[in-house]
Structure 1
Amino acid sequence: MQPPISDYGFLSDLRSSALVSRDGSVDWWCPQRFDSPSVFARLLDPGGGHWRLAPAAAGSAGHRVHRSYQPDTLVLRTVHRTPEGSVAVTDALAGEPGARAHELGMNSPAVLVRVVEGLSGRVPMTVEFRPRPQYSLTAPYLKERADGAVLAGAGPVDLVLRCHGLRLRADDDRVRQSFEIAEGQVLGFDLAYGAAYGDPPAELDPVAAVTDTVQAWQAFRELHQYEGRYQDLVRRSATVLTGLTYARSGAVTAAATTSLPEVIGGDRNYDYRFAWLRDFAMTLRALWVAACPAESSRLFAWATRSIGRIGAEPIPVLFGLEGERDVYEHECPRLAGYAGSTPVRVGNDAWQQRQSDVPGEIVSAAWLLRDYLGDEFDDEMLEMVLGLTEQVAATWRLPDRGIWEPREKERHFLSSKVLCWVALDKAVQLGPHLGERADVRRWAAIRDEIRATVLREGFDERSGAYTGAFGSSELDASALYLPVMGFLPADDPRMRATIAAVERELGGPGGLIRRWQDEPGGFLLCSFWLVECLAMAGERERAASLFEQITGHANDLGLLSEQIDLDSGAHLGNTPQALSHIGLINAAWRLTESGGQ
């Protein structure tokens, strides 16, 4: 049986990520880049490859585990207590030696380090290393080297596993050994990735690498101090967002994983290892509030370059981490899927959808950064904002796929129309930055027409609420985005009725909100939107209570997935999910701004 999604800890070097289970198994690692092929994929198939390092007694009745991150880092320390004694294992994706803060991921060596420290007694340990590169398509040869390391090589991948103080032995397709760790003893392992026809895998001192990586992470937090409410929660979420940032470009990946299911056994299993423009304004706001202004500006620069020259075609909703548009989706039938949930997908065909909300996210982000960007935008910024605004003015009446990216027919989704209004409204306000080509009067007229259309067509008298699409009576939690984006005040009578209807009809236990009826999971972003709406409507105490309930669904490391099962409380969907942590940060800041205690 596969571990619960909430069992996994998250490691990052701002280029790639790894997931480590409570029992000490690295079950997911894509060493080249967040969205590159995995070398460990037991997360998605029991035979998909892993690297386990844990006490021999792990899983027995006398085995207890306590995990925590080193303060303000993604360096994970797991303490195992067994009948024979206790031992700590510290895991990290190493930064380049000497790198600090924004340098951390620029030249990451692609090395996973694990340091074992004896705390008491004498603890029998096991190490099992079974790599399966290219999403488990390849079984590499394992060769013992003269220096005591093991080389695993196949296709384009070389992996070198070393233990400083223990000679490793290959056993067919794996390393499987036992050893003991005594009180005061320290043993370091490092696993280095290299391209078969490129530079050889790096060699690091694991103990020194852990210390250096901790210092690099802590330098991030020194760049920006969050002073609002719920500081510990916000600082943890800011660190997770930094860990999901691809340092070389500044893009923020939506999640570290692919194909973790929204419903166990279902087929809504998508690849989230890309950067979405649809989430852009929310992401930028969260980075500005809780991470670092430099990260916000680098993200914006990435978007400008990725979008390029704007024509008649709609802007893709997502890009690769270096701005790639072609992220075609395919399936991996070799992988059985998490808990049998198939298909496993690589790539995401949502990039081809028309999503009319995208320009509104970008123009709104430009408005958020207006003072930082200066009185006059540079040529690329100017062309982007003007091009997106004119595209909205010409196409806002067209149907699209909407914020939840359904793969059925296009519709007139409420949230998309509202974001079209946002694009024009913010463009009008940015007029002084846009020069003589800004057609502010015409934009304002179209903006007002969109608003009138939304107010007329978006409210359903039968349900007494704003619904998901024009002409529909189906409630959709995306209606909560209207006050968040400034389209309507939260205390507007129709908006108050909508908030109440969403809470009544889509609400579940633990403060969770579903996106629509019959969805089994509470969607964490929507739940945090409800917190923001209540705070803006003046219900500050209830908003704070709801916030505390929702954040209580985080795992023991403070990590949030996309959704929470309403019956079992289990995490669902890809993890850690950027949108969930973005929602937490923005809701905490809204509670701070609202003045609630």
Structure 2
Amino acid sequence: MDQPAISDYGFLSDCRSGALVGRDGSVDWWCPDRFDAPSVFGRLLDPDGGHWRIAPLAASRVERAYHPDTLVLRTVHHTPDGSVAVTDALAAELGARGHQLGMNSPAVLLRVVEGLTGRVRMHLDFAPRPEYGLLTPYLHEQPDGGVLAAAGPVRLTLRGGGQALRTDRDRVAHTFEVAAGQVVGFDLAYAPVYGNPPARLDPVTTLAETTRAWEAYRENHRYSGCYPDQVRNSATVLTGLTYTRSGAVAAALTTSLPERIGGDRNYDYRYSWLRDFAATMRAFWVAACPIEASRLFAWAARSIGRVGDQPVPVVFGLEGERDLSEHECTHLRGYADSRPVRIGNDAWRQRQLDVPGEVLSAVWRLHDYLGATLDEELLEMVVGLAEHVAATWRLPDRGVWEIRDGERHYLSSKVFCWAALDRAVRLAPQLGDRADPRRWAEIRDEIRETVLREGWNDRIGAYTAAFGSAELDASALYMPIVRFLPASDPRMRSTIDVIERELSTEDGLVRRWNTDPAGFVVCSFWLVECLAMAGEMDRARALFEKVLGYGNDLGLFAEQIDLSTGAQLGNTPQALSHIGLINAAWRLTDPTTV
């Protein structure tokens, strides 16, 4: 593999979009308009996809860390001639504080170079390639020493803090020297060609303002449970994946990073999944982020709209878009030659029966804050989802893993159908005359009896992936988490043991199913929760700490972990992995929490 490991990348965000910067100083991914917009830097997915690198000319030893409670990344390069720090961030709006972060982000990438010791020769290599690498822009030197890059719908303005930048056809290659105590700031501003011009900001001043904006944001959140540093870090990552304008949380920053190097299970995760909804809401509450939880809830209710006969979509665009039709970028080689590269996600077309259970579980979590009666639109949504489950729970679906080879009667989907009606019954006093709690309770109990009868495999001694199946599935670990069965129930306890024995490695990685080639990070955190709920706190803590060891040096988690090498795989940073960390840490704090 001739490109950086997935774990080599650090995450920057302005809560509108995000960027990935490698340990080598190269920004290899940035979609400046919003998380799911076309990239201007896409070397992550193709060597010719565009990048912006600032690093010493000489080989260097690298140390890096986030400024505490921020996504402002400081990378220190130690060379034979001295040391230099490069601090990277996506700019916050000047003066933004608290929950204003991301509301009017200027779409400016800041890179500030500071000499620490000696004199270090630095090299800047700027090669933007908009529209996922399809466009090579014209570069125009500007009177102020900057460079304007224009192509198609994109304008980018690179300025060098007094450095006179020179173009070389389709790139800027610039060498400069930094002495101890010297500071050189660069900023790259994006704007659409037919809109307002790119913002002009002083990079050093704006970097300080951006740092203060993140600090002020995190000051509003207090967490007092186990593993506070890791929880606060994961909560900051979740904030960074939140599209502030709507409140939606992107499942990941990236598209098409592979589940297996060279494989074709490469999907676009830059959208917001209702499947993750209840777990995300719970993580926000655990991390003391009630405003984020409320805004996410409002986004979901607005996106779902009226519930009809069609399946409730599992995934939406960040502003509630429903049609996310998928296509392949055949001109891109893919990460480590893993094709195809996909834009869009056809999961929006699937029937996935778990979705209403996720949404109604989230409503139940918020019910104390919603008042004695729900507003008309929310009431209609809750009743509509309950009726939809009552009418459709017997149908097969694609399951929580969004399998594309056909529908089955997946156990976890039926469990979430039970959860949907269970929460609807509990919410009935707030629903008025349209609630039908007696009928909902009867169907809920029928679902439970069916799951207990059809989902159990006596030969294996576990609840399995689907009715009549002999395949194990780690999603069965969600049964105690949604309170379908206590973890101490003999059959549930047996299921936990079998999954731990057959799907888990000694190092704590849990696969989704027997043939899964990698550990799925959130499944390991689910196992932590189940062990804690079963009263095995020492084993749960030990497992939790093993899983923490798979994060990179910045505490970031992708979707999966290679079983043989421990390398991160899949899209990154993965919201669900960090959600799982937060919720498992709270379970270790209070095993009885709902």
Coarse TM-score class (shorter-chain normalised): over 0.9
- For residues 197-596 of structure 1, what are the structure 2 equivalents within 5 Å? 197-594=194-591
Q: Is the 8 A contact 2:533 2:592 kept in 1?
A: no
Shift of 1:595: 8.6
Structure 2 regions of 5+ residues with no counterpart?
none
* 3-state SS, counterpart of residue 594 of structure 1: coil
Q: Contact 1:221/1:291 (CA < 8 Å) preserved in 2?
A: no
User: Could you say what secondary structure the match of 1:44 adopts?
Assistant: coil
CA RMSD, 1 decimal: 0.9
Distance 2:422 2:153 in 1: 50
Alignment of 1:5 onto 2:6: yes
- Kindly indicate whether the alpha-carbon contact (under 8 Å) linking 1:22 and 1:65 is maintained by their aligned counterparts in 2: yes
Cα distance in 1, alignment partners of residues 173 and 507 from structure 2: 43
- Distance in 2 (alpha carbons) for counterparts of 1:537 and 1:527: 15
Contact 2:101 2:217 in 1 (8 A): no
Match status 1:172 vs 2:169: yes
Q: Secondary structure at the match of 2:28?
A: strand
Report Cα offsets for 1:474-524 as digits up to 9, x if no partner: 001011010111100001100111001101110124211000112121001
In structure 2, the residue corresponding to 1:511 is in which secondary structure? coil
Residue 67 of structure 1: aligned partner = 64
Query: Does the 8 Å contact 2:145/2:162 carry over to 1?
Result: no
Counterpart of 2:135 in 1: which secondary structure?
Answer: coil
Offset of residue 291 of structure 1 = 4.5
Contact 1:401–1:410, Cα closer than 8 Å, also in 2:
yes
CA distance in 2, matches of 1:89, 1:479: 45
Shift of 1:101: 2.0
Name the counterpart of 2:31.
Answer: 30
Letter in 2 for 1:465: A
C-alpha distance in 1, partners of 2:182/2:220?
Answer: 36
Distance 2:582 2:430 in 1: 29
2:483 counterpart letter in structure 1: G
Aligned match of 1:122: 119
Paired with 1:595 and 1:169, the residues of 2 have a C-alpha distance of 62
Q: Tell me if structure 1 keeps the 8 A contact 2:81–2:120.
A: yes
Q: Residues 199-256 of structure 1: CA distance to partner in whole angstroms, max 9, x if unpaired?
A: 0000111011111111111112111200000000000000000000000000000000
Query: Which stretches in structure 1 are left out of the alignment for 5+ residues?
Result: none
The CA distance in 1 between the partners of 2:557 and 2:182, in whole Å, is 35
**1:387-421 Cα distance to aligned partner (Å, 9 max, x none):** 00000000000000000001011000000000000
**Aligned counterparts of 1:284 and 1:329: Cα–Cα separation in 2:** 28
- 1:89-140 per-position Cα deviation (integer Å, ceiling 9, x unaligned): 0000001100112111111000000000000000010000000000000000
CA distance in 1, matches of 2:393, 2:284: 29
Tell me if structure 2 keeps the 8 A contact 1:523–1:562. yes
Aligned equivalents of 1:44, 1:72: Cα separation in 2: 29
> For the residues of structure 2 that align with 1:251 and 1:291, how far apart are their CA atoms?
17
Q: Report the equivalent of 1:136.
A: 133
Contact 1:238/1:291 (8 A) holds in 2: no
Q: 1:147 aligns with which of 127, 144, 147?
A: 144
- What letter corresponds to residue 367 of structure 2 in structure 1? R
Q: For 1:413 and 1:220, locate their aligned partners in 2 and report how far apart those are by CA, in whole Å.
A: 41
| AA partner of residue 413 (structure 2) | S
d(CA) in 2 for partners of 1:29 and 1:584?
26
SS at match of 1:322: coil
Tell me, in whole angstroms, the C-alpha distance in 2 between the residues paired with 1:511 and 1:310.
40
TM-score by length of 2: 0.99
TM-score, normalisation: structure 1:
0.98
2:522 partner amino acid: L
Is the CA contact 1:239–1:291 (under 8 Å) kept in the aligned structure 2?
no
Identity %, equivalent residues? 71
Following the alignment from structure 2 to structure 1, what is the Cα–Cα distance between the partners of residues 507 and 285? Answer: 29
Q: Helix, strand or coil for the counterpart of 1:225?
A: coil
Distance 2:102 2:108 in 1: 12
Secondary structure, aligned partner of 2:160: strand
Note if contact 1:54-1:127 (Cα within 8 Å) is conserved in structure 2: yes
